Chains A and B, each alone.
Chain A
Amino acid sequence: QSVLTQPPSVSGAPGQRVTISCTGSSSNIGAGYDVHWYQQLPGTAPKLLIYGNSNRPSGVPDRFSGSKSGTSASLAITGLQAEDEADYYCQSYDSSLKGVFGGGTKLTVL
Chain B
Amino acid sequence: QLQLQESGPGLVKPSETLSLTCTVSGGSISSSSYYWGWIRQPPGKGLEWIGSIYYSGSTYYNPSLKSRVTISVDTSKNQFSLKLSSVTAADTAVYYCARGCGQQWLIDNWFDPWGQGTLVTVSS
Q: Which residues of A contact B (CB under 8 A)?
A: 2, 33-34, 36, 38, 44-48, 51-52, 57, 89, 91, 93, 96-104
With A45-B117, A51-B110 as known contacts, state yes or no: A99 contacts B46, CB within 8 Å.
no
With A45-B114, A98-B63 as known contacts, state yes or no: A2 contacts B46, CB within 8 Å.
yes
A69 to B63 CA separation, bound complex (whole angstroms) = 27
Q: Which of A38, A89, A103 has the most chain B CB atoms inside 10 A of its CB?
A: A38
Q: Is B54 an interface residue (CB 8 A)?
A: no
Contacts of B39 in A (CB 8 A): 46, 101
* Number of chain B residues whose Cβ lies closer than 8 Å to a Cβ of chain A: 26
- Contact for A96 among B46, B63, B101, B108, CB less than 8 A: B63
Q: From residue A40, how far is it (CB to closest CB) to chain B in Å?
A: 8
Across the interface, do B49 and A98 meet the contact criterion of CB distance under 8 Å?
Answer: yes
Q: From residue B21, how far is it (CB to closest CB) to chain A in Å?
A: 17
